[in-house]
Amino acid sequence: MHDQATEWRWVQRYAEQFRACNLQPGEVVVLLSEAASKKEIVETARMALEMSGAAVADVRMPTPPNPGPVPIRSTGASQALAGHRGAVAACAAADFVVDCTVEGLLHAVERAEILAGGSRVLMISAEHPENVERWPHDPSLKDRVDRGTAMLEAAAVMTVTSVAGTDLRVDLNGAIRAGSYGWCTEPGSIAHWPGGLVLCFPAAETVNGTVVLAPGDVNLTFKDYIREPITLTFVDDYVTEIAGDGHDANLMRSYLSSFDESDAYAVSHVGWGMNQGARWDSLPMWDKSEHNGTELRAFAGNFLISTGANEHAGRFCRGHFDLPMRNCTVALDGDVIVEAGGLRADLT
């Protein structure tokens, strides 16, 4: 997509989201970015913060070099801070951090220290700002995500099945459960925008079974739809087999085998999408460099399984797949939350 000047309508929408995060005039805000951050996002965020009366400081980090051997477009955890104590201290001392790094701080090593300082952090997904025109602020999303999160917190087991052959069991004992609706108001909290996702980070050795990626499911690391079935076998969190004769399975096997980190094969998080404004079919509208796919993680009724970094299980790595799936049935202790890709009525 060609370069485009920052549009006032984007600035207004960003400012609306910042107000939802209880941004007040005079608050100390760190605008965190890196060399590879999309300039449209950073500039739109800066203008929205300044028009809101915030005291803004830019912290711009170099993007770390890629040691290879493969190109990396998704790690699931920003490595831009790289432990830089000055940058981390600035973020921890701020009232509000607007996170424009490519991957975001959600799984970053420095996240805990920043939140412990009392900052509230809004991760703006690396999507072209034009997308926010389609994502109106939905105050009801918080209540619905909170209800879904409460259901997850009360459950002992998550099961996922599909007509394609998925049959997965997640023991929720020791899992960290969370929901994100796209804004944060409390000190020491973090959210990503767009939101609308209920998920958990399973404890070690708690995920077992089979996941069958069917045509129309999504590999967001590759920013592409699955076209040929792939069967993933999980044993105690780790993918032990990637079965399939097609190009998609070959590509996944090749990519994962390039990492010298076995944790690239392990589960990061699992959950389901609840955002009625997010679209599964938005992917073809953008060049791969113009989006990060967060919208597809959040569309209502998807089941999301991700591999790679899971700080709650002590796993940090570069290899990462986000895999939103359609037409799955998700149940908590046998209580169906998503049926064949449809979110149950009391959560819509």
pLDDT one-digit tens code per residue, 312-328: 888 877 788 999 999 99
Mean pLDDT of 298-309: 94
With a cut of 70, say whether residue 170 has pLDDT above it: yes
Beta bridge mates, 30: 57, 97
Mean pLDDT of 287-295: 85
Using a 10 angstrom Cβ sphere, with 0-12 exposed, 13-18 middle and 19 or more buried, the burial of residue 50 is middle
Q: Place 74 in a pLDDT band, splitting at 50, 70 and 90.
A: low
Question: Could you tell me the two tokens for 340?
Answer: 């064949």
Write down the pLDDT at residue 171.
98
Compute the distance between CA of residue 317 and CA of residue 319 in angstroms, rounded to an integer: 6
Structural contact between residues 13 and 132, judged by C-beta atoms closer than 8 angstroms? yes
pLDDT band at 5 (very low <50, low <70, confident <90, very high): confident
**DSSP letter for each residue of 212-241:** EE-TT-EETTTTEE--S-EEEEEETTEEEE
Q: In residues, how long is the chain?
A: 348
User: DSSP letters of 234-282?
Assistant: EETTEEEEEE-SSHHHHHHHHHHHT-S-GGGGBEEEEEEE-BTT--GGG
Ordered by start, the domain boundaries in the chain are 8-134, 140-180+195-347
Q: What is the pLDDT of residue 26?
A: 98
Rounded to whole angstroms, how far apart are CA atoms 47 and 281?
Answer: 30
For residue 73, what pLDDT is reported?
65
Interval 48-73: pLDDT, tens: 999 999 999 999 999 988 777 777 66
Averaged pLDDT, 116-145: 94
pLDDT at 22: 97
Q: What is the DSSP string of 286-346?
A: S-GGG---HHHHHBTT-EEEEES-BGGGTB--S--EEEEESSEEEEETTEEEEETTEE-GG
What pLDDT does 157 receive?
A: 98
DSSP-derived secondary structure letter, 143: H
Under a CB-based contact definition with an 8 Å cutoff, are residues 206 and 173 in contact? yes
| Separation CA 342–CA 144 (nearest Å) | 15
For residues 325-347, average pLDDT: 97
**Two tokens, residue 109:** 């090593």
DSSP 3-state assignment of 191? strand
Q: Tell me the mean pLDDT in the region 18-23.
A: 97
Q: 187-223: per-residue pLDDT in tens?
A: 999 999 999 999 999 999 999 999 999 999 999 999 9
Q: What percent of the chain has pLDDT over 90?
A: 82
CB 272 within 8 A of CB 195: no
Task: Give the homologous superfamily in CATH for domain 8-134.
Answer: Response regulator (3.40.50.2300)
The CB-side HSE value for 332 (13 A sphere, CA atoms) comes to 22
